């Protein structure tokens, strides 16, 4: 080993050009590209989840892409354990390039993660129904009753975060904050780390999203969804909720016209990109921002 281990972290919203930048970096450095996206771990859905193409994978070594069955609920803890296995078997002098759009994965890599037990779909659905018509004040009041520490940490009563905290408490009998107190250090915390967030202009990103999904429809996404539906999986599984899967499913069943399916999937992708940017802004505010061409903003 010539020195401290090195990692490059490339985050960004969907369709911002992360995979291309990672491939360019890997070809220059000989680094290993590691998937840091929660949906790209699932097999079958290469096109729908915008995984690197087979041609791109032939140009540089990629890890954790399409390695998990869509019948599996693959948690952040399981992803971290898979990453640790990659770290353990990789030459210490080799650069690891983590690329993706799942902010929680990047946070876990550096800052660690509390491995909360998987929550059953039934409990999640029960909490979702309970909070469906609640106001922000009502959500926060309920959370304060069941997990006062998590309520204190939240600046706003974000529905998804409240649902998760309540579901954890009801399934395990422990508060989410108590699990977070058990948090283990991140596996690359002591490495030399180069961080970047791709931050394209909103209008440019909007155009790229629209063009990309229309292209997916023509280039294999429909066949992938047909194959996925053929497995007759639980509709609550993460892979079954991947953007594009419900829309293509409804088109295949005659509930939507083709253009409606494309429009709805494009809108869902825009909304997802907006949530990603909000996470990166709030949780990665000190990371360098890059435009589409890779120039620092």
Binding site residue list for ATP: 12-19
Would you tell me how many other CB atoms lie within 10 Å of the CB of residue 88? 8
Nearest alpha-carbon partner for 121 in 68, 70, 171, 179: 171
DSSP classification of residue 34: E
Give the C-alpha separation, 16 to 193, whole Å. 21
Binding residue numbers for substrate: 14-19
DSSP count for the chain of H helices, then E strands: 13, 6
> Three-class SS string for 53-73?
CHHHHHHCCEECCCCECCCCC
Containing H/E element for 24? helix 18-29
Instruction: State the DSSP string of 189-216.
Output: TTSEEEEEEE---HHHHHHHHHHHHHHH
CA 208 to chain centre: 19
DSSP classification of residue 236: T
Distances 280 to 90, 96, 114, 120, 257 between C-alpha atoms, Å: 28, 21, 20, 28, 35
Binding residue numbers: 12-19
Containing H/E element for 33? strand 32-35
String of b and e for 66-78 (b: at least 16 CB within 10 Å)?
bebebeebbbbbe
């Amino acid at each position: 080993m010539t020195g401290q281990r090195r990692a490059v972290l490339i985050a960004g919203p969907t369709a911002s050009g992360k995979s291309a930048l990672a491939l360019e970096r890997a070809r220059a450095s000989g680094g290993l590209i590691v998937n840091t996206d929660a949906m790209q771990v699932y097999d079958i859905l290469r096109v729908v989840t915008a995984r690197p193409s087979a041609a791109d994978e032939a140009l540089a070594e990629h890890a954790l892409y399409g390695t998990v069955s869509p019948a599996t609920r693959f948690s952040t803890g399981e992803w971290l354990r898979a990453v640790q296995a990659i770290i353990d078997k990789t030459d210490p002098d080799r650069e690891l390039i983590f690329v993706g759009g799942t902010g929680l994965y990047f946070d876990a890599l550096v800052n660690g993660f509390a491995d909360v037990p998987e929550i059953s779909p039934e409990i999640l659905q029960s909490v979702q129904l309970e909070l469906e018509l609640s106001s922000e004040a009502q959500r926060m009041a309920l959370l304060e009753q069941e997990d006062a520490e998590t309520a204190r940490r939240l600046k706003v009563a974000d529905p998804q975060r409240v649902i998760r905290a309540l579901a954890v408490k009801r399934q395990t009998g422990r508060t989410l904050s108590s699990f977070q107190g058990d948090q283990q250090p991140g596996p690359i915390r002591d490495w030399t780390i180069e961080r970047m967030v791709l931050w394209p202009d909103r209008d440019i990103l909007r155009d790229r999203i629209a063009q990309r999904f229309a292209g997916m429809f023509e280039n294999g996404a429909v066949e992938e969804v047909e194959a996925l539906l053929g497995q007759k999986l639980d509709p609550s599984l993460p892979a079954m909720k991947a953007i594009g899967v419900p829309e293509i499913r409804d088109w295949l069943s005659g509930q939507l016209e083709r253009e409606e399916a494309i429009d709805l999937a494009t809108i869902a992708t825009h909304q997802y990109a907006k949530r990603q940017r909000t996470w990166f802004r709030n949780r990665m505010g000190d990371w360098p921002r890059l435009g589409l061409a890779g120039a620092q903003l």
